[in-house]
Chains A and B, each alone.
Chain A
Amino acid sequence: MPVLAQVDLRLDAGPLDYTLLAVYFVFVLGIGFLARRSVSSSLDFLLSGRSLPAWVTGLAFISANLGAIELLGMAANGAQYGMATVHYYWIGAIPAMVFLGLVMMPFYYGSKVRSVPEFLRRRFGKGAHLVNAISFAVAQVLIAGVNLYALAFLLNLMLGWPIPLSVVIAAAIVLTYTALGGLSAAIYNEVLQFFVIVAALLPLTIVGLHKVGGWDGLVEKVTGGPGGSEQLSAWPATELTGIQNPVLSVIGIVFGLGFVLSFGYWTTNFAEVQRALSAKSMSAARRTPIIGAYPKMLIPFVIIIPGIIAALVVPEMVALKAGDDSGGVVYNNALPALIGELLPNGMLGIAITGLLASFMAGVAANVSSFNTVFTYDLWQDYVRKDRPDEYYLRVGRLATIGGTVVAIGTAFLAAGYGNIMDYIQALFSFFNAPLFATFILAMFWKRMSAAAGWAGLVAGTLGAVAVFVLAETGVLDLPGQGASFVGAGVAFGVDIVVSVAVTMFTRPVPEERLVGLVYSLTPKEDRRHSTTGDDAGWYRSPVLLGIGVLLLTAVLNIIFG
């Protein structure tokens, strides 16, 4: 009964809460206007003029990903599966982020490419570049629409705002600051958003823990609850994977989630990599994902634990967890439901602001990476070459507007057909899955030919589609996350096999064109970063920081294992 659910989740927001929300909007738009003054070229607009310090790009790196699906979805997983959800962070993000910073960033940043597709153009020429640039651009505007719809849906649920109104207001705010200040405005707002989200979720977690009687009370209540004490330990996560055998479940997590899925996402998704490319030096670019990894390691404590608590203290969630779904709530409501249950006016306003901030930053990340790929990789490479830079700055601004308008259209489409969102997300996991295989071969195997570049990508994508179709039609029986793990694995394997096979029968790319792009053809000095000035000091060493976060993550795995 959806009507009942709406009544349950309506938050009791007062004038004070709306004022706090309005203050945030003033800051968000203010950053857009201020950032505009520093935009004088297309590189300023689309890549922040490669001028940002590492702590800013590092926080933006994780904020760009801290959108609607992440916040609500991970709290929901916490409510449903318990502590096993931390794998999405500790296994599914941290190692890939460290790998991106230490191994891949020297080629991304060192080659001075302006986007991930541009790396493919320099390495393989037009075939692979077109496949990647078009699929990425389409994916980003459609996902921006899905994010917009998720935001409007939540506003409707919590505050009673009409969905079309919410879509248009949110899109107008994002459009205003990204069209004015470009990537700098998007990134600065992502950093601001990070702190607002933490300011919203940390007090919520503290009140929640107080309510259940501290950590001991939480342990006691979860152990006595329907999930049992299994839900307090991260391993072997049989519920999460849907794989009954504990050993196979661990293998599924480490290889499926930890290796194929997460490396594909974190190391080749331009919406993420773009944050690092906007850093001011090679050292800052390498530190970007690694600095981001530290908060990424800790943030599950303020997302997953509130999810677990919601399933203990919100009556409707307790009923749902016990198997009674007549209350009309779904696990995705865990976070808003807990906010409504525990926070008084004042903090309630901060919490609403935090949720909204996260959703808007997600949309802004999609739009600001779309406009870069559209401008540099599609318009400049294939439509209008060799124009003065002001021309491309204007194209970048127009692409921002166009992308947002298409996203609004997608949002209304998603509002009309509920499960279209699931299909859009499935569609883009297909494009993402084989990319990591192609990039690793491209960076470390100089023989790999241009034809292998696009052939591997296309074949890998088709492999993932095949698994998806087989799972949907019931030919393959894979419960839970199993289908996406296997799909990504197949895409990875097919990409490698096809790339190697095609390379054997085609001519290699001339070596002089690969300097700076391939490991064995890049002089060691070019991969090094400076260690003077703003890059000096042992605490700014990417390797040391990377080892540090891996060790801390291992310790957390032991404590919460």
Chain B
Amino acid sequence: MARKAGLFDLRLVIAVLFAIYGVVLLVVGLGFTDEADLTKADGLNINLWSGIGMIALSAVFAAWATLRPVIVPEGGEGTGTA
């Protein structure tokens, strides 16, 4: 009987990490960016844009992991054959 490897799918780990990073940067970019920060990055609100990019990356991995879950075959090939 096959089961889903829901607890430890690397794609979900990536999705969660970049969701955290993305939201933090988005909030910093929207609410806590002063003139000095903008001047440093040549007028770009780089925190805001990077945050949006990371949230998008997170969404892609979450969608991939949801649409194509890992199926672990019971006693599958290659495990414990040492």
Task: Name A's B-contacting residues (CB within 8 A).
Answer: 16, 19-20, 23-24, 27, 30-31, 34-35, 37-38, 40-44, 49-51, 56, 188, 191-192, 195-196, 199, 202-203, 206-207, 210-211, 280, 341-347, 350, 389, 392
Contact = CB atoms under 8 A, between A and B. Distances in A.
B80 A49 contact: yes
Contacts of A23: 17, 20-21
Contacts of B14: 191-192, 195
Interface string B23-52: 011001100010011101111101101100
B50 A16 contact: no
Interface of B: 7-8, 10, 13-14, 17-18, 20-21, 24-25, 28-29, 33, 36-38, 40-44, 46-47, 49-50, 53-54, 57, 76-82
A343 B10 contact: no
Nearest to B76: A51
Given A24-B17, A49-B78, A56 B10 contact: yes
A210 B50 contact: no
Contacts of A50: 78
From A40, A199, A343, residue with most partner B Cβ within 10 Å:
A199
A34 B8 contact: yes
A37 B5 CA distance: 12
Nearest to A313: B42
B82 to A, nearest CB: 4
A34 B5 CA distance: 12
Contacts of B42: 207, 210-211, 342
B13 A41 contact: no
B41 A344 contact: yes
Given A23-B21, A27-B17, A188-B10, A49 B79 contact: yes
Given A210-B44, A344-B38, 8 more contacts: A23-B20, A35-B8, A51-B79, A188-B10, A191-B14, A345-B28, A347-B25, A350-B50
A210 B41 CA distance: 9
From B37, B43, B77, B82, residue with most partner A Cβ within 10 Å:
B82
A44 B37 contact: no
Nearest to B61: A195
Nearest to B41: A207
